[in-house]
Structure 1
Amino acid sequence: MKTRYIVYIALALVVGYLIFNKLHGGKDKNGQGGPTADAKAGGKKKGGPVPVNVMIVHDTSVTNSIDLTGSIDPNEKVSLISQTAGNITGIYFKEGGRVSKGQVLVKVYNQDLVASLAQNQYQITLAKQNEYRNRILLQKEAVSQQEYDTSLSSYNSLKAAGDVIKAQIAKTVIRAPFSGVIGLRSISPGGYLSQSTPIATLVNTDPMKVTFNVPERYEPLIKPGSKITFNIASSKKNFAATVYAIEPSIDPTSRTLTIRAKAPNPNGEITAGGFAKINLTLDQIPRTVMVPTECVIPNIKTNQVYLVHKGMAVAKNVETGLRTDTKLEVTNGLKTGDSLIISGLIQIRGKSPVKIIKVIK
């Protein structure tokens, strides 16, 4: 019996404790329930201002350019061949050397032609004297018009024959058609030179030609006089060139326009046949606003940025234009002096209070 009473008393104490805890355990020192009151107040504590970095908007100039690839060609290039066949009597150039326009490079045997020309000159002298005599006699009516015309025709025919021989002799002398550097020769003195035998390659490397293609949408922005810069694998320098010719039609396969520019090469640093990495300047905007790309938030109908106004973040609609790797042009919506928020944008909602941590001018 005594044990049963002890059990009953223990159960009563447990039940009493549970009831007391149910009624009084959720209150704070002031007698108010902490979790319940917080839940009624909204369930969370209100946050402070968002820390942000700000950029002061200002005007700047920007260059619109694109990167392309192209090939490098000599200004002029020709494979020298002879217009007549014969034995080579002389070679007057050094392989890899510079030659001047009109310089004699190779001579082919022409003594037979020289002899024919000398004979022709004697005949011309005699025919000229005969024509002169008949002209005097015709004035005195001592010969007929037909006899004079025959002597005049003979004289003119001999002069024409002499011109033909002179042209044939000229073909036996190969001259440089332009100034430049001559390559390796494939002939030897005394060898037989035919009209199909290559002699050497002559190139003019100052200036060099840079040929490249641009997408058709850039056609209105490119014209003769446009500037490009490029670099090549064999040099760390940047070289400059000027556009001088544009293909009049667009390639229907690639939809590109072929452009050619000239690059000065007085020291021979640019090698023909090389590969060029080109930067083409399309246009230059002297005054515009450029902002970091990440601070422009695209919406369905427009783009937005956030400005700081009286300690609050204020959304502003903007219009954009040119885009570079890291920046975006704002053509409308910003003015010089605006405080543009460039960080902490994910935390900003509506007119959020902000705290400026850093100002970039």
Structure 2
Amino acid sequence: MKRWIAIVLVVLVVGGIIVYNKVLHPAPGAEGKPPGGGAKGGPGGARGGGMTSINGFVVVSKRLQEDIVSSGSLLAAEQVDIYPEISARITQLNIREGQPVAKGALLVKLFDADLRAQLQKLQAQADNARRTEERNKQLLDRGGISQQEYDIVTTNLRSSLADIELVKANLQRTEIRAPFSGVIGLRNVSSGAVVSPNTLIARLQQVTSLKLDFSIPEKYGPFVHNGSKILFLVDGANNPSQGIVYAIEPGVEEQTRNLRIRARVSNTSLQYRPGTFARVTLTVQNEQSLVVPTQAVIPQTRSNQVVVIKNGKAKFTDVKIGLRTEGTVQVLEGLSRGDTVATTGLLFLKPDSPVKIGGMITLPQSEAKVATN
């Protein structure tokens, strides 16, 4: 009996709870739509069909400037390592270390007594061959000798003259002269030393004008040409100096995909030395261009898009972009000056969806430089 009474009490308690939840206190919105007008957002939500509020930007024309910062090296305008052409003993050494020399100045004289003696011998033989040729010429004119005999004599004369020229060329190899005006470096030999073609005597450099080599990414190649100005800064200098681009490598380096560029730097005051590291800044563009904020561009698989606001509706437009800075993107095609583009809420916009512009943004005051190595 007690068992049945307990079961009845449990049933009454459970029934009371159900009646309380379902009848007396129903859940909000249980008999209709949820508050807010939809299951996935209220008015103005992603799928609520309301008007989306965004920030906009009016396309303007701005003088866009992008600087490339690269590492470079200063090189001598002309440089040559001085080696002898023959093996011989140094008889005269006219090298003053660290001093300027003029083009054609005699730097080193090697032993040449044997060559000069050989030259005198050949000159005597050539004189004799010349007199013989003159006598045989007279005999040939009178019919005293044949043409063949005369040809042998003239051949001997030409052979003697050729031997003389050979010895003179060998004598020139005993003299080492400066190929251009410059500054001679530290010498590695002394007078009286026996040198060979593998002996480095000194280095000659032209330092009143220097070359500056640096590289930039290949995509900036179209913006650089002969005559472009660069700025560079070396360690220990307070102010940058200027150089002028005068040569561009026709091909791109396969490993780095960089384009090698060479500029000319004036160094009349000898303030720079060849081999110095330089930090180069090259302005690749500085002209009026249409620009939009970076956040306004929507990257696509094969293109880029922006959302143009026209008559209160969103229009997705393909654009061709150019240079990028920290806060702006250059627009080459697809927009006109004065167009209004969306900069926020891009993920919630659909083609021809109604749009409300809540505010307008402006461009950043400064542009960042592009750093390359």
Q: Look up the match of 2:244.
A: 241
TM-score (norm 2): 0.66
Q: Look up the match of 2:162.
A: 160
Q: Contact between 2:136 and 2:150, CA under 8 Å: does it hold in 1? A: yes
Q: Look up the match of 1:194.
A: 196
Spell out the pairing of 1:290-301 with structure 2 (5 A cutoff). 290=291, 296=296
Spell out the pairing of 1:273-292 with structure 2 (5 A cutoff). 273-284=275-286, 286-290=287-291
Q: For residue 170 of structure 1, report the CA deviation from its aligned partner.
A: 0.6
Could you tell me how far apart the structure 2 residues matched to 1:63 and 1:234 are? Answer: 28
Q: What amino acid is aligned across from residue 123 of structure 1 in structure 2? A: Q
- In the alignment, which of 256, 259, 265 is matched to residue 258 of structure 2? 256
Could you tell me how far apart the structure 2 residues matched to 1:213 and 1:115 are? Answer: 56
Q: For residue 305 of structure 1, report the CA deviation from its aligned partner.
A: 8.5
Larger deviation: 327-336 or 63-72? 327-336
Q: Contact between 1:120 and 1:158, CA under 8 Å: does it hold in 2? A: yes
Q: For residue 187 of structure 1, report the CA deviation from its aligned partner.
A: 1.3
Q: Contact between 2:83 and 2:198, CA under 8 Å: does it hold in 1? A: yes
SS at match of 1:143: coil
Q: Contact between 1:205 and 1:268, CA under 8 Å: does it hold in 2? A: yes
SS at match of 2:183: strand
Q: For residue 55 of structure 1, report the CA deviation from its aligned partner.
A: 9.8
Q: 1:77 to 1:220 in 2, by over 3 A?
A: same
Spell out the pairing of 1:106-117 with structure 2 (5 A cutoff). 106-117=108-119
Could you tell me how far apart the structure 2 residues matched to 1:287 and 1:86 are? Answer: 67
**Gapped regions of structure 1 (runs ≥ 5):** 1-53, 308-312, 343-348
Could you tell me how far apart the structure 2 residues matched to 1:55 and 1:184 are? Answer: 64
Could you tell me how far apart the structure 1 residues matched to 2:360 and 2:164 are? Answer: 99
Q: What amino acid is aligned across from residue 134 of structure 1 in structure 2? A: N
Q: For residue 204 of structure 1, report the CA deviation from its aligned partner.
A: 2.0
Could you tell me how far apart the structure 1 residues matched to 2:340 and 2:308 are? Answer: 10
TM-score (norm 1): 0.68
Q: Contact between 1:320 and 1:328, CA under 8 Å: does it hold in 2? A: no
Q: Look up the match of 2:75.
A: 73
SS at match of 2:104: coil
Q: For residue 255 of structure 1, report the CA deviation from its aligned partner.
A: 2.5
Q: For residue 167 of structure 1, report the CA deviation from its aligned partner.
A: 0.9
Could you tell me how far apart the structure 2 residues matched to 1:246 and 1:352 are? Answer: 50
Q: Contact between 1:240 and 1:263, CA under 8 Å: does it hold in 2? A: yes
Q: Contact between 2:309 and 2:342, CA under 8 Å: does it hold in 1? A: yes
Could you tell me how far apart the structure 2 residues matched to 1:137 and 1:176 are? Answer: 51
Could you tell me how far apart the structure 2 residues matched to 1:190 and 1:64 are? Answer: 59
Q: For residue 354 of structure 1, report the CA deviation from its aligned partner.
A: 6.9
> Which digits, 9 at most, give the CA deviation of each residue in 1:308-348, with x for residues without a partner?
xxxxx999988584322344445565636x99999xxxxxx
Report percent identity of matched pairs.
32
Q: What amino acid is aligned across from residue 130 of structure 2 in structure 1? A: K
SS at match of 1:120: helix
Q: For residue 352 of structure 1, report the CA deviation from its aligned partner.
A: 6.2
Q: What amino acid is aligned across from residue 166 of structure 1 in structure 2? A: K
Q: 1:73 to 1:355 in 2, by over 3 A?
A: closer
Spell out the pairing of 1:1-361 with structure 2 (5 A cutoff). 59-235=61-237, 236-248=239-251, 250-284=252-286, 286-290=287-291, 296=296, 302-303=305-306, 321=321, 322-329=323-330, 333=335, 335=337, 351=356
Q: 1:251 to 1:237 in 2, by over 3 A?
A: closer
> Which digits, 9 at most, give the CA deviation of each residue in 1:52-107, with x for residues without a partner?
xx999764433344222222222222211111222211112311111222211011
Q: What amino acid is aligned across from residue 265 of structure 2 in structure 1? A: A
Q: Contact between 1:131 and 1:148, CA under 8 Å: does it hold in 2? A: yes
Q: 1:299 to 1:176 in 2, by over 3 A?
A: closer
Could you tell me how far apart the structure 1 residues matched to 2:151 and 2:299 are? Answer: 96
**Gapped regions of structure 2 (runs ≥ 5):** 1-55, 344-353, 366-373
Q: For residue 152 of structure 1, report the CA deviation from its aligned partner.
A: 0.9
Q: Contact between 2:73 and 2:214, CA under 8 Å: does it hold in 1? A: yes
Q: Contact between 1:297 and 1:305, CA under 8 Å: does it hold in 2? A: no
Q: Contact between 1:72 and 1:209, CA under 8 Å: does it hold in 2? A: yes
> Which digits, 9 at most, give the CA deviation of each residue in 1:134-173, with x for residues without a partner?
1121111112222212221111111111111111111111
SS at match of 2:201: strand
CA RMSD of aligned residues (A): 3.9
Could you tell me how far apart the structure 1 residues matched to 2:212 and 2:331 are? Answer: 35
Q: 1:237 to 1:103 in 2, by over 3 A?
A: same
Q: 1:341 to 1:209 in 2, by over 3 A?
A: same
Could you tell me how far apart the structure 1 residues matched to 2:194 and 2:360 are? Answer: 91
Q: Contact between 1:228 and 1:243, CA under 8 Å: does it hold in 2? A: no
